[in-house]
Structure 1
Amino acid sequence: MLRYETIAELVSEAEKRNIKISELVLEDQAKAMEKEPSKLFDKMATDFDIMVESVKAGSKKEQSSMSGLTGGEGFLMNDYVKRTGGGLSGELMTKAMGRALSVAGCNASMGKIVATPTAGSCGILPGCLVTLYEDRGYDKNDVIMSLFTAGAFGMVIANRASIAGANGGCQAECGSAAAMAAAALVELMGGTPSECADACAIAISSQMGLVCDPVAGLVEIPCIKRNVSGLMIAFSSADMALAGIKAKIPVDECLDAMKEVGDAMVPALKETAVGGLAGTPTGKKLKEKVFGSDK
């Protein structure tokens, strides 16, 4: 059985057996849970279908969060794609941005999402994978299998560092999600297990120190837009790894560094809605708008 304590373990075992990390993990989890691999695959397929539906649900023009602070970001980005043909980043990436915003918006409006690994970072992995499925025509079964790789990397991150903003800042949420997505993207593109690890390490190091500072304590500002930033980092990290660019710092050491940084953060920067953007004059006014004055 795999221990999910290091990504090096996953890479080594997959390379030794000349299989994908997703294949290794599906087999291992089926044994651990005493279930047929097909049953676990079907469950993951359901999760992917929910991701697709959350993109649709959050892309409506009238979409609005329960607080009223955010809403319609997914619609606006999709409209921008149509008006400009893809803007500065190109059609594929702007469509992916729209999907990430839509899923995060779906979450803010109490819609059904898949926390990957958290609700606050729920738009990153769907934004990446649904885009490759719908716009690049990647085989659905391959996309679903890549989720097992993302999930395995997420398990290691959770065990070795953290996936909670209250514990490690937003680097532990959007950072972890981007790292998981980068690994999944590399596998989908035919990359090696080692390249998956490099992509993960690059994504983690690119968001090292990112604080968790939700305005009014709600997973909306700046969380929804950070899902787009995380998505872009996932794509760029995957491309760098596929190009043969090494992370230099081994991925497990990056995770240890992320934990060290998270532990060093003051409480005001870890989901308390006291510091960072939440502590700005405008951030405080928005809190009053939703909850009323503390006085």
Structure 2
Amino acid sequence: MRAYEDWVVLAENKGLKISQVVLLNQIEELEIPEQALLERMGKNLKVMRESVNMGLSGNRRSVSGLVGGDAAKIEARRKSGLTLLGAPLSGAIARALAVAEVNASMGRIVAAPTAGSCGVLPAVLLTLEEILGVGETELLSALFTAAGLGMVITDRANVSGAEGGCQAEIGSAAAMSAAAAVELAGGSPRQTADGAAIALKSMLGLVCDPVAGLVEVPCVKRNATGAMIALTAAEMALSGVKSAIPIDEVIDTMAEIGQQMSCSLKETAQGGLAMTPTGRKIRADFL
């Protein structure tokens, strides 16, 4: 079973970044040259950019009509200068919604780690590109950091809403994004672990309760809140705030909580928001 602590210790001992350790591991395990792996990750980043731009256009609508156009609303408010959070953070919200809306409208996205949580990582990375002025090389490295944590999560727990609730989807995406953000901002391997742990702890117990059984409500908007949690966790870790519980133990706890959850709260649309009066009405109207 993989452990993120192993990535951290190896990186510290060799004076490397988490992304470098993960890349070296994948070169060895997959027997694929470094350049080929970088090109593959570059294609993922390209799709993320395209999904953001597509969603921000405001032209995407899901078949149900429940989702679409909200990313463009946030972006318009951001450009007006009226935002409460400042342009960068409002941009993160808009980007997260944009990608999730593209997914809901059957567009092309990168599952990061799932389709339902696809907006978190692109939103965080492309927002930091704007804030920090980093280039393509740094963004690709950050994606490998996120992927390294994702591998650990899938080994120790899972990223499926049907198995672990939304904590396994949006929670994992937030943790992966926090780790990537910390490294992108110059944090240490240990700080990536703290950032990931803080983010995931903040989302433990989150249920998967899609209204009408669609990955739309409340899923799309949770991508935006997941991005905000990731950035908050990264900021804390970069400031020297530590997680009292190590990331691997937080992941294990997420798995245990998922096992304890009722099946009605794990993507079955039989509980949570899906069973509110409005949720029932939406389902009846849609079906």
TM-score tier after normalising by the smaller chain length: over 0.9
Task: Name the count of aligned residue pairs.
Answer: 287
Question: Are the aligned partners of 1:277 and 1:283 in contact in 2 as well (CA < 8 Å)?
Answer: yes
Deviation at 1:63, TM superposition (A): 1.8
1:153 is paired with a residue of what secondary structure?
helix
Query: In the aligned structure 2, how far is the partner of 1:88 from the partner of 1:243?
Result: 23
Aligned to 2:286: 290
Question: Are the aligned partners of 1:86 and 1:92 in contact in 2 as well (CA < 8 Å)?
Answer: no
Question: Are the aligned partners of 1:208 and 1:258 in contact in 2 as well (CA < 8 Å)?
Answer: yes
The one of 123, 129, 137 aligned to 2:125? 129
The one of 73, 77, 81 aligned to 1:80? 77
Deviation at 1:136, TM superposition (A): 3.6
Query: Does 2:35 match 1:47?
Result: no
Deviation at 1:162, TM superposition (A): 1.4
Query: Does 2:91 match 1:95?
Result: yes
Aligned to 2:6: 9
Identity across matched positions, percent: 50
Please, which moves more after superposition, 31-40 or 92-101?
Answer: 31-40
Aligned to 1:252: 248
Aligned to 1:229: 225
Question: Are the aligned partners of 1:22 and 1:148 in contact in 2 as well (CA < 8 Å)?
Answer: yes
Deviation at 1:134, TM superposition (A): 3.9
Deviation at 1:61, TM superposition (A): 2.4
Question: What pairs with 1:171-186 in structure 2 (closer than 5 Å)?
Answer: 171-186=167-182
Query: In the aligned structure 2, how far is the partner of 1:99 from the partner of 1:169?
Result: 23
The one of 131, 140, 143 aligned to 2:136? 140
Q: Which amino acid aligns with 1:205?
A: K
Aligned to 2:112: 116
Deviation at 1:31, TM superposition (A): 1.5
Please, which moves more after superposition, 37-46 or 126-135?
Answer: 126-135
Structure 1 residue ranges, 4+ long, deviating more than 6 angstroms after superposition: none
Query: Does 2:190 match 1:194?
Result: yes
Residues 43, 252 of structure 1: alpha-carbon distance in 2 compared, 3 angstrom cutoff: same
Deviation at 1:135, TM superposition (A): 4.9
The one of 16, 20, 36 aligned to 1:19? 16
Query: In the aligned structure 1, how far is the partner of 2:266 from the partner of 2:192?
Result: 29
Show CA shifts across 1:179-218 (max 9, x none): 0000000000110110000001001100010000000111
1:247 is paired with a residue of what secondary structure?
coil
The one of 9, 14, 27 aligned to 1:30? 27
Deviation at 1:138, TM superposition (A): 1.0
Query: In the aligned structure 1, how far is the partner of 2:153 from the partner of 2:230?
Result: 16
Please, which moves more after superposition, 56-65 or 138-147?
Answer: 56-65
Q: Which amino acid aligns with 1:73?
A: D
Question: Are the aligned partners of 1:66 and 1:109 in contact in 2 as well (CA < 8 Å)?
Answer: yes
Deviation at 1:67, TM superposition (A): 1.3
Q: Which amino acid aligns with 1:37?
A: E
Question: Are the aligned partners of 2:38 and 2:140 in contact in 1 as well (CA < 8 Å)?
Answer: yes
1:107 is paired with a residue of what secondary structure?
helix
TM-score by length of 2: 0.98
Deviation at 1:59, TM superposition (A): 1.4
Show CA shifts across 1:106-137 (max 9, x none): 00000000000000000000001112224542
Query: In the aligned structure 2, how far is the partner of 1:195 from the partner of 1:263?
Result: 29
The one of 49, 53, 75 aligned to 1:56? 53
Question: Are the aligned partners of 2:88 and 2:130 in contact in 1 as well (CA < 8 Å)?
Answer: no
Query: In the aligned structure 1, how far is the partner of 2:17 from the partner of 2:111?
Result: 24
Q: Which amino acid aligns with 1:199?
A: G
Deviation at 1:86, TM superposition (A): 5.2
TM-score by length of 1: 0.95
Question: Are the aligned partners of 1:71 and 1:105 in contact in 2 as well (CA < 8 Å)?
Answer: yes
Query: In the aligned structure 1, how far is the partner of 2:79 from the partner of 2:55?
Result: 17
Gaps (5+ residues) in structure 1? none
